[in-house]
Amino acid sequence: MSAQNVITTPPLEPAAAIPGGAGRQDKSGPRGVKGQRSAKDGLRLGNILTTLVLSVGAIIMIAPLAWTFSTSLKTKDGVFELPPQWIPDPFVWENYARIWTAGPLLSGIQNSLIVACSVTIIGSLTSALAAFAFAKMRMPFKNVMFLGLLSGLMIPFPTLMIPQFTIFASIGWVDTLLPLIVPGLFGNIIMIFFLRQFLNSVPDSIVEAARIDGASYLQIFWTLIMPAIRPALAAQFILWFMAVWNDYLAPIIYLNSPGTQTLQLVIANFNAQYAIQTDYPLIMAASFIALLPVLIVFIVFQRQIIESIALSGSKG
Amino acid sequence: MSTTITRRSRLHRKEHQAALVFVAIPVIGFLLFTLFPLIFSVYASFTNWNGISAPVFKGLDNYIKMFGDRYFLKSLWNTIYMMIGIPVGLVISLALALAMNRKMRGTTFFRTVYYLPVISSIAAVAILWQWAFNGDFGLINQGLGLLGIEGPNWLQDTATVKPALIIMAVWKGLGYSMLLYLAALQSVPRYLYEAAALDGATAWQQFRHITIPMVRPVTFFLIVTSIIGGSQIFVEINIMTPTGGPEFESASIVWYIWQKAFDNLQMGYASAMSVVLGLLVFMITFIQFRLNRRNQFSID
């Protein structure tokens, strides 16, 4: 009965995973050799069907990205050819040379790097220090402060953006990178939350032992806590870096002149400006360049990122 | 216990001081960049204010005006409408997670591919989908053409601009929900299925009565976070339909707040709308904190 399900259930039907389990049950169940083999065959067929459907889905997922890359290598007119070519003929690599002079792409990358690096490096340190204090140290009103910080997560940025803008405008920081950098230096509540959770699994005794040995709290933080939280810190760091790198709403509020804009704004302006001239290869090349760093970071660190996200979901 | 405290009170004071210094930075940041702006926002929402001259107190004027403002109501409706994508995305991502939960080769590869849109910058994604939705040369209509369907001019058509944005949002968010579902599925004890199978439960019954309840916390978490995220949709609107779409069909609340505040300099009015948005998000988050037991964390 269950073997039949393995064969006939289309993998995109929600019931698909259960037959996988059922197949395994058949193996351990009290059945003859024949039953075992048919269940195994069913399992294999189910896997093939699942792979097939997942492959079709994967093509749909990857198609827009592939289409972007393909368009970025076409000539200006090649874009409008019907039927469309997936593989451009000829390859116009020159588009990737043109983008650097067509707009402030380079300064956009620099600005994004300045913002993302300063925020995440310094902000991670302040977050880790606070997480250490919240998890392993005694202080009055600790829980009140922690809950206060957490309540900040419930307030969406759009509710705060108008006063924040006014504050930064009053001290002349509009059209500089400072409004994007300074708030982040004070730490990230989500990161504090997860590092604190992570530190709960580190025994208090190591901190106490170090205290008895005469180590200061800063020394304990640096020599004991930092190495202990490294995996969690690394994953949260990468997630935060990608979030800052991809941010759009805060930059569009503060940055006007081309020289101060971050990469996301630069490509949005590319899009607005060159769509009129129907220079789609240029737009797509610039967008692809903007996607590339995060794609590389993701592919290199995907195990840590995926584990950390899966963890955050099960905790959330 | 009290004797220990007195004996070690000097040590404790030192510990308190160090701890306070460590948490001071985020707490100051919270006061400066969250609490103060929040209070200011609420105050500004009761005023007529252009962001330059001093705010003039107007009582509830902005709030009364808001609910007679056709554009505000439209953008609110659009924002809610576009959340249709949330249940659609959840169903597809649960199906994907179930498929990937099988023991077979290639699941890591698929996981990566489905996750790529999640980490991609929303600005770049909006640009490439704007191109994909192009009426004459876009990828979507090319695909529909293969099936013999003549696709609309997605982003210029009042009937299709919201569906287009929903499709894009589902595409972008699928990998994230799928991953969380996958993690949840892998933590379901196998013996539950084995016991159910021994009792003669069909695959569908197992799915309905074991899988669905076991992943419920994740479903709940995803619904809440998606609503919070969806209520703040802005970037794709701003890039793909810079004027709020045909007949204001794609303008979202945040887009309208942003336009009122920074284009029309009606900061008092925009603040009032942002306070309403904040209240909505706060309520949804609060409900999540109260209802979801797994969200509780222990405070020692």
Instruction: Assess if residue A167 is contained within a domain.
Output: yes
What integer pLDDT is reported at residue B4 of this predicted model? 53
Q: Which of A42-46, B63-67, B114-118 has the lowest mean pLDDT?
A: A42-46
pTM comes to 0.86
Q: Which residue has the tokens 């339909």?
A: B241
Residues A216, A156 within the same domain: yes
Give me the half-sphere count of Cα atoms (radius 13 Å) on the Cβ side of residue A67. Answer: 25
Residue range A46-59: mean pLDDT, rounded: 90
CB atoms < 10 A from the CB of B24, how many? Answer: 16
How far apart CA A88 and CA A82 sit, in angstroms, is 12
CB atoms < 10 A from the CB of B38, how many? Answer: 17
Interchain contact, A65 vs B257, CB within 8 Å:
no
Instruction: Assess if residue A8 is contained within a domain.
Output: no
What integer pLDDT is reported at residue A76 of this predicted model? 84
CB A45 within 8 A of CB A7: yes
Given a cut of 80, is residue B167 above it in pLDDT? yes
At B7, is the pLDDT very low, low, confident or very high (cuts 50, 70, 90)? low
Instruction: Assess if residue A91 is contained within a domain.
Output: no
B 105-124 residues with CB < 8 A to A: 106, 110-117, 119-124
Instruction: Assess if residue A184 is contained within a domain.
Output: yes
Distance from CA of B60 to the nearest CA of A (A): 18
Instruction: Assess if residue A293 is contained within a domain.
Output: yes
Given a cut of 90, is residue B53 above it in pLDDT? no
Residues A118, A63 within the same domain: no
At A303, is the pLDDT very low, low, confident or very high (cuts 50, 70, 90)? confident
Instruction: Assess if residue A41 is contained within a domain.
Output: yes
Q: Give me the number of domains chain A comprises.
A: 2
Q: H or E element: which one contains B48?
A: strand B47-48
Given a cut of 80, is residue A160 above it in pLDDT? yes
Q: Which of A277-281, B8-12, B46-50, B82-86 has the lowest mean pLDDT?
A: B8-12
Residues A25, A110 within the same domain: no
Interchain contact, A264 vs B270, CB within 8 Å:
no
Instruction: Assess if residue A3 is contained within a domain.
Output: no
Q: Which residue has the tokens 């199906």?
A: B95
- The bridge status of strand B47-48 relative to strand B56-57 is antiparallel
Residues A158, A256 within the same domain: yes
Residue range A225-249: mean pLDDT, rounded: 91
What integer pLDDT is reported at residue B8 of this predicted model? 62
Distance from CA of B159 to the nearest CA of A (A): 23
For A92-105, how does the pLDDT look when each residue is reduced to its tens digit (9 = 90+)? 888 898 899 888 99
Residue range B134-140: mean pLDDT, rounded: 87
At B6, is the pLDDT very low, low, confident or very high (cuts 50, 70, 90)? low
List own/partner pairs for A216-219 with CB under 8 A and 24 or more apart: A216/B18, A217/A137, A217/B15, A217/B18, A217/B19, A217/B22, A218/B18
What integer pLDDT is reported at residue A38 of this predicted model? 67
At A24, is the pLDDT very low, low, confident or very high (cuts 50, 70, 90)? very low
Residues A42, A179 within the same domain: no
How far apart CA A42 and CA A18 sit, in angstroms, is 13
Distance from CA of A218 to the nearest CA of B (A): 9
CB B232 within 8 A of CB B219: no
Residue range A20-47: mean pLDDT, rounded: 56
- Encoding tokens for residue B136? 């004459």
Given a cut of 50, is residue B296 above it in pLDDT? no
Residues A150, A185 within the same domain: yes
Q: Which residue of A has its CA nearest to B120?
A: A291
Residue range B251-270: mean pLDDT, rounded: 95
Q: Helix axis angle, B107-119 relative to B161-186, nearest 10°?
A: 140
Residues A261, A304 within the same domain: yes
Q: Which of A39-43, A166-170, B20-24, B188-192 has the lowest mean pLDDT?
A: A39-43
What proportion of chain A, given as a percentage, has pLDDT over 70? Answer: 86
Given a cut of 80, is residue A72 above it in pLDDT? yes
Residues A32, A137 within the same domain: no
Q: Which residue of A has its CA nearest to B38?
A: A160
- Encoding tokens for residue A185? 């230096």
For A191-218, how does the pLDDT look when each residue is reduced to its tens digit (9 = 90+)? 999 999 889 888 888 888 998 888 899 9
Expressed as residue numbers, the domain containing A132 is: 97-315
Interchain contact, B44 vs A163, CB within 8 Å:
yes
B 63-102 residues with CB < 8 A to A: 91, 94-102
Given a cut of 90, is residue B106 above it in pLDDT? no
CB atoms < 10 A from the CB of A92, how many? Answer: 18
Residues A106, A250 within the same domain: yes
Given a cut of 50, is residue A4 above it in pLDDT? no
Residue range B242-251: mean pLDDT, rounded: 92
Residues A60, A106 within the same domain: no
Average pLDDT, chain A: 83
CB A58 within 8 A of CB B110: yes
Q: Which of A39, A72, A105 is the last residue of a domain?
A: A72
Residues A131, A40 within the same domain: no
Given a cut of 60, is residue B300 above it in pLDDT? no
Residues A41, A115 within the same domain: no
Given a cut of 70, is residue A35 above it in pLDDT? no
Q: Check which CATH number belongs to the domain holding A151 and give it.
A: 1.10.3720.10
What integer pLDDT is reported at residue A36 of this predicted model? 59
For A73-88, how does the pLDDT look when each residue is reduced to its tens digit (9 = 90+)? 998 888 887 777 788 8
| A84 vs A13: which has the higher pLDDT | A84
Contacts of B243 in chain A (CB under 8 A): none
Given a cut of 50, is residue A3 above it in pLDDT? no
Given a cut of 80, is residue A125 above it in pLDDT? yes
Instruction: Assess if residue A79 is contained within a domain.
Output: no
For B185-237, how does the pLDDT look when each residue is reduced to its tens digit (9 = 90+)? 988 888 999 999 999 999 899 999 999 999 988 898 899 889 999 999 999 99
